[in-house]
Amino acid sequence: MKNLTKEKDPAKVLLAYRSTPLACKFSPTQLLMGRQIRNSVPLFHTQLYPQWPDLDNLRARESMSKLKQETVFNTRHKAKPLPSVGPGAEVFVEDLQRSGKVIEAASTPRSYKV
């Protein structure tokens, strides 16, 4: 794909981006409008009619792909879940730049009353 700064007409670059298929085998335009858009590549007129991809199957594949990416990233970086902080634990509050003790867990995840 052409670089936006090299092309004199940025509309051509955006058209190329919007019509290029992603890893899921559909272009951003196909996912948005259900059909391909006209560009400099010739295509049959039947491809311009709306025909939505199987969105449930597509979402399932995308979520599996994201889960796989997360697993590979966590394995590569040796990431582990943080242990929970119990009441009475000494913590440092960065906003106030001082230490304090945890009173109880708050309603939101990984939040505590200090």
Q: What is the pLDDT of residues 28-47, one digit of tens each?
A: 988 888 888 887 777 777 77
Residue 4: pLDDT band (50, 70, 90) is: low
Place of tokens 């708050």: 106
Give pLDDT, residue 13.
Answer: 84
Q: What is the pLDDT of residue 3?
A: 60
Span 79-105, pLDDT tens digits = 998 888 889 999 999 999 999 999 998
**Could you give the CA distance from residue 20 to residue 13 in angstroms, rounded to a whole number?**
11
| Rounded mean pLDDT, 13-26 | 86
Whether the pLDDT of residue 63 is over 90: the answer is yes
CA distance 2 to 97: 48
Using a 10 angstrom Cβ sphere, with 0-12 exposed, 13-18 middle and 19 or more buried, the burial of residue 26 is: middle
Are 79 and 73 a contacting pair, CB within 8 Å?
Answer: yes
Q: How confident is the model at residue 75 (pLDDT cuts 50, 70, 90)?
A: very high
Q: What is the pLDDT of residue 30?
A: 87
CB atoms under 10 Å from CB of 13, counted, come to: 17
Torsion of CA 49, 54, 59, 60, to 10 degrees: -160
Q: Report the chain's mean pLDDT, rounded to a whole number.
A: 86
Q: Measured on CA atoms in the order 104, 107, 110, 114, is the torsion positive or negative? A: negative
Pairwise CA distance, residues 36 & 27, whole Å: 8
